Structure 1
């Protein structure tokens, strides 16, 4: 069966389900939403109501980032909590699987990396706002019915996983990488009780309306584990100096210390955060190095990847500095 035929069949399945939900409304066409990096993402209208549909790509297995049913599961578990997420309105487990959720209004802009630029005051307010959202996410009961949480991630396991990714990057693209991995491995901290993790928590994955966080999106790699895994990643995006040749200066953004204070509500700080800040930088270096390697090997042509070497080096260098 051709890809185009499968997409047509998907449109029929989605349309039939939404027609039952809106029996007197006209159902629109599936329209591809740009910017997604996993599965297929569409918008569709039912009368005046708009939905987002995520589906397994034709011919691919529903695993990893393409496991859209897993994404639907965490969104359903968070419905009605203090964590803003789009509501799930339909789930179809027949292959290729898909689910539909409410279309959430707002914009997701990473201040130091994305266009359009945000005003300094708005960017600061949004970063502090989502630090509170992250704390509420981490307070979610991982025993929530229907979540079916996986085995928790711990610090050692997270380090081992991303060490393999960094090791697959040619040594010349990761200067200081071996020293960083050794120093992280030599001082792995004890784990905190596991919480629900987003996996890629940052402003670029939170739709905001004004200063308010309207919906946390892009749940492809959610898991449960040590809360500092999410925090170490989130803090990366507070400073454009972490992204040479990629980032832009945004005056007045919260410092990492301010974001940690906002997350903690003024309470005692979390132990060993420097280790997790360094881990976050190592993970970013591994991801960028992987993408650059794939480009240079001709597996995914993207000349923009040639801008990454200074940032990869900066991530490793500053991680070493953080570890002292």
Structure 2
């Protein structure tokens, strides 16, 4: 069966499901939403309502980032909670699987990386707002019915996983990487009780309207584990200087200390946060190095990746500095 035929069949299935939700209302055609990096993402209307469709790509297995049903589970588990997420309105497990969720109005802008016209005061308020959202996410019961939480990730497991990714990057693209990995491995913190993790929590994955967080999106790599894994990653996006040749300054953006204070909300300090801040930088270096390697090997042509080496080096250097 051709890809075009599978796409046509998927569209028919989606329109049939939504027609049952909106009897008598016209259901529009599926329109590809740009910017997605996992599965297929579409927009579709049904009467006055608008939905987002996440589907497994034709011919692909529903695993990893393509496991859209796993995304639907976590959104369903968070429905009605204090964590804003789009509502799931339809799930179809027939291959290729897909689900439909409410279209959440708003914009997802990463202030220090994206080209945007968001006022600095609004960007600041959004950063503080989602720091509180992250705290609420981490209080979610991981035994919530329907979540189907995986085995928890501890600090050692997270380090091992990302060490493999960094090791796959050519040595010349990760200067100082071996020393950083050794220093992280020498002092792995004891894990805190596991919580629900987003996996890529930052403003670029939160739809906001003015200063309000409307919906946390892009749940492809959610997991259960140490809350400092999410927090250390989120803090990385507080300063444009972490991203040489990529970032740009945003006046008044809250720094890491202010974001951590907002996240804690009067609770005691989290131990060993410097280790998790360094871990976040190592992970970013590994991701960027992986993407640059793929470009240079001709597996994914993207000349813009050639801007990454200064940031990769800075991530490793500043991680080592944080560790002392």
Q: Same fold (TM over 0.5)?
A: yes
Q: Deviations over 1:86-144 (max 9, x none)?
A: 00000000000000000000000000001213211111000000000000000000000
Does the Cα contact within 8 Å between 1:165 and 1:290 map onto a contact in 2?
Answer: yes
Compute the TM-score of the two structures, normalised by the length of structure 1.
Answer: 1.00
What corresponds to 1:53 in structure 2?
Answer: 53
Number of equivalenced pairs: 324
Q: In 1, distance between residues paired with 2:115 and 2:219?
A: 22
Q: Which runs of 5+ in 2 are unaligned?
A: none
Does the Cα contact within 8 Å between 1:232 and 1:276 map onto a contact in 2?
Answer: yes
Q: In 2, distance between residues paired with 1:117 and 1:233?
A: 24
Does the Cα contact within 8 Å between 1:111 and 1:117 map onto a contact in 2?
Answer: no
The alpha-carbon deviation at position 291 of structure 1 amounts to: 0.2
Q: In 1, distance between residues paired with 2:270 and 2:143?
A: 23
- Map 1:298-313; keep pairs closer than 5 Å: 298-313=298-313
Q: In 2, distance between residues paired with 1:2 and 1:269?
A: 56
- Map 1:257-268; keep pairs closer than 5 Å: 257-268=257-268
Q: In 2, distance between residues paired with 1:270 and 1:222?
A: 21
The alpha-carbon deviation at position 28 of structure 1 amounts to: 0.1
Q: In 2, distance between residues paired with 1:191 and 1:41?
A: 35
What corresponds to 2:140 in structure 1?
Answer: 140
Q: In 1, distance between residues paired with 2:174 and 2:227?
A: 27
Q: In 1, distance between residues paired with 2:188 and 2:110?
A: 30
Secondary structure, in 3 states, of the residue corresponding to 1:42? strand
Q: Deviations over 1:264-302 (max 9, x none)?
A: 002211000000000000000000000000000000000
Q: CA RMSD in A?
A: 0.5
Runs of 4+ in 1 over 2 A off after TM superposition: none
What corresponds to 2:30 in structure 1?
Answer: 30
What corresponds to 1:131 in structure 2?
Answer: 131
What corresponds to 2:66 in structure 1?
Answer: 66
Which one is further off, 91-100 or 262-271? 262-271
Compute the TM-score of the two structures, normalised by the length of structure 2.
Answer: 1.00
Q: Which runs of 5+ in 1 are unaligned?
A: none
